[in-house]
Amino acid sequence: MYKNIAKQTKLLLKDLVAYQDGQVVSKTLVQNDKVSMTLFSFDKGEEISTHASGGDAMVTVLEGVGRFTVDGQVFLLKEGETLIMPKDIPHAVYGEERFKMQLMVSF
């Protein structure tokens, strides 16, 4: 089920995805028909434009500050904060500063 991640090893999720200048970087840890788990790093000013997901999406910021716009409402999340973006509702993600997040989508 899990891929791209060591098993039976103590990990810091934020250390598993690196920043790259001018980019959004992703690392998929789980992908199947019920759940998806991906780590992301965003350089400052980088974004994922408005889109909708086929499942409820839960994000937890692991480092830095990200801006999440969900159905027109803006949320600034910092390390340790979590937001759920409902299925089929338009949302976007922006790097207010360099930040990392974990995304879990349940279908």
Per-residue model confidence as pLDDT tens digits over 70-96: 999 999 999 999 999 999 999 999 999
pLDDT average, residue stretch 30-36 = 97
* pLDDT of 1: 85
What fold, for 23-106?
A: Jelly Rolls (2.60.120)
* pLDDT of 54: 96
In contact, 57 and 85? CB cutoff 8 Å: yes
Place of tokens 């086929």: 54
Assess whether pLDDT exceeds 90 at residue 105: yes
% of residues, the chain, pLDDT over 70: 100
How far apart CA 90 and CA 25 sit, in angstroms, is 21
**CA proximity to 93, closest of 7, 30, 107, 60:** 60
Side-chain-side CA neighbours of 8 within 13 Å: the count stands at: 0
